[in-house]
């Protein structure tokens, strides 16, 4: 008898589950039933997977904020943001995850230029357009990504070098008396490659003494550490070329901790610091005070620029492959009013 009751209960339960299953199936088919007019597709969110390389500098934080502030739900996007923590392997993992999630676009802010071919090939095979932002990728096949937007880092380096030349000439300094150290950015990144090249070429052309190039990884801590070591190695440094403002802030700390003075009065023994970005408020204040003599702007506000590229792709228009951002140069040192690089004149702006 008990066995009979158990069997009856089981049968009833099975019927309920089956009936519920049918109801769900009917409901889920409702939208696509051929007997009904299909519903207008609701405004679809565009899914963007953004692989940021890390959070090494104020520039990077401003760049991340620009992206997060642009790709909001209100603006019609679903953003998946991944911080690579300064490791290319993490960025590659993030891109693979975006591919699995079938995002509409992948936006990549790459740590270094090399090593992206395989994963970009996987994105292409999955039919997902990749937009590269800020630094570039060195891919054998340029069709592995749709387009790029960012700064002309070599031009930035050339601008600072032109400023150094104009300033030192205005003071009547002989080129061989200009002793420079370069605290480089993260080795292999476009920002480092371009800025280092700008200085190295200018040093060769002008006969400056470029004594050392050491990476400070774009961070304040490494800038301080590297500058401390350089001051122990050389006693005649008169210009420190820092490849970003965070390094410059660290280098200034180290110079002052060594009992030396920072400023543009090289002839009186001050050590001149020049830099890049113009984002960090402390660095801009240092530039107003003359502790940083010159800053080439590197603009981090790429969110709206990437959005414009996506909108263009969405409407079937192929954007330009390479999209360079116009940038300024800042200094409060009165001697130099403008510089000319590759035939273009740039007025010096107040920081």
Which range binds ligand AHR by CB under 6 A, 21-29, 53-61, 162-170, 175-183? 53-61
For residues 182 and 223, is the Cβ–Cβ distance under 8 A? Answer: no
Q: Assess 291 for contact with ligand AHR (CB under 6 A).
A: no
Q: Closer to ligand AHR at the Cβ: 139 or 191?
A: 191
Largest CA distance in the chain: 112
Nearest to 151 by CA among 309, 299, 347: 299
For residues 97-108, one letter each, b for 16 or more C-beta atoms within 10 angstroms of the residue's C-beta and e for the rest, the string is ebbeeebbbbbb
Q: Closer to ligand AHR at the Cβ: 47 or 246?
A: 246
The sign of the CA dihedral 137, 141, 144, 145 is: positive
Q: Assess 163 for contact with ligand AHR (CB under 6 A).
A: no
Block residue for tokens 């990728």: 137
Give the single-character DSSP code of 262: B
Block residue for tokens 């209100």: 74
Q: Assess 182 for contact with ligand AHR (CB under 6 A).
A: no
Q: Closer to ligand AHR at the Cβ: 191 or 292?
A: 191
Q: Closer to ligand AHR at the Cβ: 244 or 331?
A: 244
Residue 81 C-beta: closest distance to ligand AHR, Å: 17
User: Hey, how many other C-beta atoms are within 10 angstroms of the C-beta on 200?
Assistant: 16
Q: Assess 60 for contact with ligand AHR (CB under 6 A).
A: yes
The sign of the CA dihedral 123, 124, 128, 133 is: positive
For residues 47 and 103, is the Cβ–Cβ distance under 8 A? Answer: yes
Q: Closer to ligand AHR at the Cβ: 57 or 331?
A: 57
Q: Assess 220 for contact with ligand AHR (CB under 6 A).
A: no
* Binds ligand AHR (CB under 6 A): choice among 48, 49, 50, 56: 56
Binding to ligand AHR in span 271-290, by CB under 6 A: 276-277
Residue 26 C-beta: closest distance to ligand AHR, Å: 55
Residue 292 C-beta: closest distance to ligand AHR, Å: 14
* Binds ligand AHR (CB under 6 A): choice among 104, 134, 152, 307: 134
CA count, 13 A, side-chain hemisphere, 331: 27
Helix (H) or strand (E) holding 77: strand 77-83
* Binds ligand AHR (CB under 6 A): choice among 48, 50, 51, 59: 59
Interface residue list for ligand AHR (CB under 6 A): 56-57, 59-60, 134-135, 191, 218, 244, 276-277, 298
């Amino acid at each position: 008898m008990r066995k009979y009751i158990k069997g009856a209960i089981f049968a009833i339960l099975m019927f309920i589950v089956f009936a519920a299953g049918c109801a769900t199936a009917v409901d889920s088919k409702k939208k696509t039933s051929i007997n009904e007019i299909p519903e207008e597709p609701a405004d679809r969110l565009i899914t963007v997977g953004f692989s940021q390389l890390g959070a090494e500098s104020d520039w990077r934080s401003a760049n991340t904020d620009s992206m997060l502030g642009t790709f909001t739900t209100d603006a019609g996007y679903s953003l998946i943001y991944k911080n690579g923590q300064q490791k290319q392997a993490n960025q590659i993992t993030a891109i693979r995850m975006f591919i699995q999630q079938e995002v509409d676009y992948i936006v990549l802010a790459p740590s270094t230029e090399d090593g992206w071919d395989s994963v970009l090939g996987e994105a292409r095979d999955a039919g997902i357009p990749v937009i590269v932002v800020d630094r570039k990728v060195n891919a054998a096949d340029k069709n592995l990504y749709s387009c790029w937007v960012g700064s002309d880092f070599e031009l930035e380096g050339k601008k600072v070098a032109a400023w150094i030349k104009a300033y030192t000439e205005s003071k009547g300094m002989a080129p061989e008396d200009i002793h420079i150290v370069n605290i480089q950015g993260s080795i292999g990144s476009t920002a480092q490659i371009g800025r280092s090249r700008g200085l190295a070429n200018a040093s060769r052309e002008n006969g400056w003494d470029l004594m050392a190039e050491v990476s400070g990884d774009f961070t304040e801590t490494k800038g301080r550490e590297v500058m401390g070591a350089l001051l122990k190695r050389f006693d005649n440094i008169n210009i420190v070329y820092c490849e970003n403002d965070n390094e410059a802030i660290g280098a200034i700390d180290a110079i002052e901790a060594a009992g030396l003075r920072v400023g543009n009065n090289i002839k009186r023994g001050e050590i001149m610091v020049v830099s890049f970005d113009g984002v960090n408020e402390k660095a801009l204040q240092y530039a107003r005070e003359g502790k940083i003599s010159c800053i080439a702007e590197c603009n981090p506000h790429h969110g709206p620029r990437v959005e414009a590229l996506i909108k263009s792709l969405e409407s079937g228009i192929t954007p330009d492959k390479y999209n360079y951002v116009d940038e300024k140069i800042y200094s409060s040192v009165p001697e130099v009013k403008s510089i000319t690089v590759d035939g273009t004149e740039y007025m010096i702006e107040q920081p």
